[in-house]
Amino acid sequence: MLRGKNILLGITGGIAAYKTTFLTRLLIKAGAAVKITMTQSASSFVSPLTLSTLSKNPVLMDFINEEDGSLSWNNHVELGLWADMMLIAPATANTLSKMAHGTCDNLLLATYLSAKCPVFFAPAMDLDMYQHPSTKETFKKLQSFGNVMIPAESGELASGLFGEGRMAEPEAIVHFLEDFLRSGLPLSNKKVLITAGPTHEPIDPVRFLGNRSSGTMGFELAKKAADLGATVVLVSGPTSLSAEHSNIEVVRVTTAEEMYQKVHEHFENVDVAIAAAAVADYRPKDVSEQKIKKEAGDLGLTLVRNKDILRSMGEKKKRQYLVGFALETENELENAKGKLQRKNLDAIVLNSLNDEGAGFGQGTNKITFMDKNLTVKPFEVKTKSEVASDIWKEIIVRINA
């Protein structure tokens, strides 16, 4: 959720400022770009050098910079425009009161008054201060301006008292920001199941039957779903790909039978399922426990059918929106239509190996999207990331209809 976001972190002078080193690290790890402005008093609790090193940006405290005899100024307007989100943590009672009343006596407050982005504040103060009527009135006033409060937690306070007023932990703050971003997305609160990659059906301990699928299309679909707010279970056959996203659970399998089992562990609880994996239709009937030695003459393998994972989902589906893939070489539309209807799908994505830029092992794909009403929508050759976006746009229109 935070990947690619510009976050302006404002730090004020409370003991909880020491936690901002961990908070900065978590925001960077989540993929955000972080710039920091802090009050002079905050620098008594946490080192600007430490924060600058972690954020990879200078920490700004004053309007004017004086270095080597030259003067420059920190443009609070540019800072406010740069940020996608402004987070003030810890937010002391003093700073919160100034924010509520428009006081502008430091760079942090000037930037806050200039910010066009959502502003979040995480209060941190002692129990009695947190419960004081003036503080509660400040909270209400700031929220009436559209600012978002990250509630304080209960715990041991710097005074030795125990109660409400402790700044939310860095992990909780990051989760709060992610949930805020997710809440307005088209797939928020949706659970998605995606299969990806090939399956490997063993012949002996060192050989297998497989195919050329890289898994890229399925992984791109999973990443796009997660970016759109969904919680994703990605069941992947053998592939070197990874999905670094907090909303994606990757389940690794090898064979079609393993994929079948994992799919049905999750299928009942999802809203959308996309079968993008290239599952082997057949497997060797007998698997040798030892490596098969080369001998004179031919080697014969007896193959048996694997379970049809997509058909089994179609038979069991209730509320799920189920999408399959069809890779065809002839009579493409008719074959895709037949698969759509036989397997009780809501939509099917057609690839043709006759189309340049489509198929396995390429960074691009060319698809045709067909739904259960036989509405057909062809697309041009695009990167697989762009194709994933197109597929999700088509699905979202239909599940929200």
What CA–CA distance (Å, rounded) separates 328 from 224? 25
- Contact between 223 and 243 (Cβ < 8 Å): yes
Residue 282 in tokens: 């057949």
Lowest-confidence range among 271-280, 345-354, 365-374, 387-396?
Answer: 345-354
Per-residue pLDDT tens digits for 161-218: 787 888 999 999 999 998 888 887 899 889 999 999 999 999 999 999 999 899 999 9
Residue 238: the pLDDT is 97
Residue 245: the pLDDT is 81
Per-residue pLDDT tens digits for 380-398: 999 999 999 999 999 999 9
Residue 241: the pLDDT is 94
Confidence of residue 294 (pLDDT cuts 50, 70, 90): confident
Confidence of residue 358 (pLDDT cuts 50, 70, 90): low
Handedness of CA 228, 231, 235, 241 (dihedral sign): positive
Judge whether residue 352 has pLDDT over 80: no
As a whole-number percent, the residues of the chain with pLDDT over 70 amount to 96
Domains of the chain: 6-183 (3.40.50.1950), 191-285+298-399 (3.40.50.10300)
Judge whether residue 74 has pLDDT over 80: no
What CA–CA distance (Å, rounded) separates 291 from 203? 9
Judge whether residue 71 has pLDDT over 70: no
- Residue 324 pairs in a beta bridge with 275, 348
Residue 258: the pLDDT is 98
Lowest-confidence range among 38-42, 124-128, 308-312?
Answer: 124-128
Residue 4: the pLDDT is 85
Residue 205: the pLDDT is 95
Span 36-63, mean pLDDT?
92
Judge whether residue 67 has pLDDT over 90: no
Whole-angstrom CA distances from 137 to 63, 141, 280 are 30, 6, 64
Residue 315 in tokens: 């038979």
4 or 41, higher pLDDT:
41
- Residue 393's nearest CA partner among 339, 327, 333, 349 is 349
Judge whether residue 62 has pLDDT over 70: yes
Confidence of residue 401 (pLDDT cuts 50, 70, 90): confident
Confidence of residue 265 (pLDDT cuts 50, 70, 90): very high
Residue 332: the pLDDT is 87
With vertex at residue 168, the alpha carbon angle to CA 80 and CA 81, rounded to the nearest 5 degrees, is: 5
Residue 359: the pLDDT is 64
| Residues annotated as part of the active site | 211
Q: How many CB atoms lie within 10 A of CB 357?
A: 13
21 or 356, higher pLDDT:
21
- Residue 9's nearest CA partner among 38, 30, 32 is 38
DSSP string, 169-183: PHHHHHHHHHHHHHH
The overall average pLDDT reported for the chain is 91
Span 328-336, mean pLDDT?
87
Residue 36 in tokens: 């920091």
Judge whether residue 2 has pLDDT over 90: no
Judge whether residue 73 has pLDDT over 80: no
